[in-house]
Chain A
Amino acid sequence: MIFIAIDVRELAPPEPMTAILQALSTLPKGDGLRVHHSRQPFPLYEQLTSAGWEYECEKKAEDYFLISIYRQQEKPT
């Protein structure tokens, strides 16, 4: 699976969510999205699973999170 990366760490809310939504809406089938974020986007998590997406979050530092998002049926191996 190829991950397309976006960095939203320098954006103020609600711009990170807008950028993520735009990236997901154009994400090619079979690809995933990797988001470099300054915090955990909890409101995004709320709807991801019910909208058919899977996500993983890795904490890199106090203010640096790496969030991988992909379609539920396309879990990377």
Chain B
Amino acid sequence: MSLAGLSFNALPPIRLPFRFFITAPIFILLCTGLIAYSGPDLWLGRWQPPMLALVHGFTLGFLTMVMLGALLQLLPVIAGIGIPHPELLAPLTHGLLSVGTLMLLWGFLQFHSSFILAAMWLIAIGLGIYISALFWVLIKHISQGDSLLGFRLAISSLLVVVLLGLALLGRYLGIEWIPPSKHLTNVHALWGLVGWAGILIIAVSYQVIPMFHVAPSFPLIVRRFLTPLIFIGLLLSIALPSYSLPALSLLQGLFALVLLLVIHRRKRKVPDTSIRYWQLGASALLLTSVLFFIPEGIWNEYLDIDKTLLLTALFMYLYLMSIIEGMLLKILPFLSYTHLQQRCLIDFTAMQYIPNMHEFFDKRHGQWLFYSHVISGLILIWVLFQPSYYFIFAIALVLESTGLLVIMLKTMKLYFAVDKKISQAAKDRVEPPTASFKNT
């Protein structure tokens, strides 16, 4: 293959993903307020309205927010493609999704139909715009490898999640697009967690682990077949959940093992917080997969906790959130640096203004954030057994999300300061400062 002089113009301005990233920990802080306000009853079961609000605050406000922002930049970096009109579409999606999620949380908490209706419109339009834009660009680049196949399947899963979510919300308003069914709620949750978030993380890991950590590529058989098999498992879960769920659990466990193996075989074995997040996430995923196969009878005899609640908490908090937080610590300084480096191609003298990579991200702060995430994750599991200690989890979560917010703000502040310095230097060269003379 030979690529000569193709014109790429895919990398959107960094302020676009920044606004998604910065919103995510703010939603975690809101979730913390909800946990503190709702008290121990929140943890009694997954069908409580505050629990529905908490789960959607976390999945839409944090997970989806970060993933949409990251895709804006990761697609151009790893595949040389980007969504059309990002300056228009990204702020629109961000605004509609942010306000829509707030409306949804309020609607769940207050059973307020007008808020639910507003949330349905805002989220449908916000995510609809983004999904359409991504489909358009992913269909155009049909032959670009295993990660792009994963991206397509993840986006398709998001479409299913949104459509099913709208139909389920419609029932709150008396619109019976679908029959009353807890099974369809389970399908909605499964497609969201294992499809949208899970497949996307797998597809991203194929690129990010070898690229950032100089690790070997994932085995070809895994890259080629894992995400399509998961997608088929998700399709089967609609009609045959008792067969597909064990298969999906096995596939997740397989990915966790391969991920740990690839990380172990990396050439660049320097201490790295991001890798520890990946290892924590993979271990939590493996544990979730193993626990799934404990028969209900034995589970109920030894463990006084709802199995689905515990497995979902492990998957969402210690797998998905670990990976996403670890990724943020890696890609935020990297993207800042890459954008500044791009400017140096026009003017090599600008290289002198770019600080050391470590100044964009203090490793000690990353370590503190990692430990605070491990501690908050363990407290979450403890609270599932002992809901009366919910406030300790709320405190741990406030500390962690504030820490994440501060780390991100510091990186962004440095980026804009250096960017301004480069622009000023370029301006000074074009228009040298003129001395003013007074006629005396």
Chain A residues with a Cβ under 8 A of chain B: 10-14, 17-18, 21-22, 24-25, 38-40, 42-51, 53-59, 62-63
User: Is A12's CB under 8 angstroms from B214's CB?
Assistant: yes
Chain B residues 47-93 with CB under 8 Å of chain A are 76-80
Question: Within the assembled complex, what's the spacing in Å between the Cα atoms of A39 and B217?
Answer: 11
- The answer, among A11, A13, A43, A54, for a CB contact under 8 Å with B11, is A43
User: Is A47's CB under 8 angstroms from B5's CB?
Assistant: no
User: Is A46's CB under 8 angstroms from B344's CB?
Assistant: no
**A59 contact set on B, CB distance < 8 A:** 1-2
B262 shortest CB reach to chain A, Å: 13
Question: Within the assembled complex, what's the spacing in Å between the Cα atoms of A22 and B10?
Answer: 24
Q: Which of A46, A53, A58 has the most CB of B within 10 A?
A: A46
**B437 contact set on A, CB distance < 8 A:** none
**A11 contact set on B, CB distance < 8 A:** 214
Question: Within the assembled complex, what's the spacing in Å between the Cα atoms of A13 and B333?
Answer: 10
Question: Within the assembled complex, what's the spacing in Å between the Cα atoms of A22 and B268?
Answer: 22
Chain B residues 104-127 with CB under 8 Å of chain A are none
**B299 contact set on A, CB distance < 8 A:** none
User: Is B348's CB under 8 angstroms from A24's CB?
Assistant: yes
- The answer, among B4, B79, B338, for a CB contact under 8 Å with A55, is B4
Q: B175 on the interface (CB 8 Å rule)? A: no
Question: Within the assembled complex, what's the spacing in Å between the Cα atoms of A44 and B8?
Answer: 9
Of all chain A residues, the one with the shortest Cβ separation from B342 is: A47
Q: Which of A17, A50, A54, A59 has the most CB of B within 10 A?
A: A17
Known: A13-B211, A51-B346, A56-B4. 19 other contacts (CB 8 A): A10-B268, A13-B212, A13-B334, A14-B334, A14-B337, A17-B341, A24-B348, A39-B211, A42-B8, A43-B342, A45-B6, A45-B80, A46-B11, A46-B76, A46-B342, A49-B7, A50-B346, A53-B345, A55-B5
A42 shortest CB reach to chain B, Å: 4
B206 shortest CB reach to chain A, Å: 12
Main secondary structure of the interface of A (DSSP, over half): mixed
**A13 contact set on B, CB distance < 8 A:** 211-212, 334, 338
- The answer, among B3, B342, B346, for a CB contact under 8 Å with A57, is B3
Q: B181 on the interface (CB 8 Å rule)? A: no
A24 shortest CB reach to chain B, Å: 7
Chain B, interface size category, equals: 35 or more
- The answer, among A14, A22, A62, for a CB contact under 8 Å with B357, is A14
Asked, given contacts A45-B6, A46-B9, A57-B2, whether A63 binds B342 with beta carbons under 8 Å apart, the answer is: no
Q: Which of B5, B213, B334, B348 has the most CB of A within 10 A?
A: B5
Of all chain B residues, the one with the shortest Cβ separation from A72 is: B5
Question: Within the assembled complex, what's the spacing in Å between the Cα atoms of A39 and B212?
Answer: 11
**B77 contact set on A, CB distance < 8 A:** 42-43
Q: B425 on the interface (CB 8 Å rule)? A: no
Q: B163 on the interface (CB 8 Å rule)? A: no
- The answer, among B10, B213, B345, B348, for a CB contact under 8 Å with A42, is B10
Q: B240 on the interface (CB 8 Å rule)? A: no
Q: B210 on the interface (CB 8 Å rule)? A: yes
**B341 contact set on A, CB distance < 8 A:** 14, 17-18, 21, 43
Q: Which of B6, B212, B267 has the most CB of A within 10 A?
A: B6
User: Is B351's CB under 8 angstroms from A21's CB?
Assistant: yes
A1 shortest CB reach to chain B, Å: 15
**B76 contact set on A, CB distance < 8 A:** 42-43, 46
User: Is B80's CB under 8 angstroms from A57's CB?
Assistant: no
Asked, given contacts A11-B214, A21-B345, whether A43 binds B5 with beta carbons under 8 Å apart, the answer is: no
- The answer, among B2, B212, B217, for a CB contact under 8 Å with A58, is B2
Of all chain A residues, the one with the shortest Cβ separation from B344 is: A21
Of all chain B residues, the one with the shortest Cβ separation from A40 is: B80
User: Is B348's CB under 8 angstroms from A25's CB?
Assistant: yes
**B78 contact set on A, CB distance < 8 A:** 39, 42
A69 shortest CB reach to chain B, Å: 10
User: Is A40's CB under 8 angstroms from B213's CB?
Assistant: no
User: Is A54's CB under 8 angstroms from B357's CB?
Assistant: no
Of all chain B residues, the one with the shortest Cβ separation from A51 is: B345
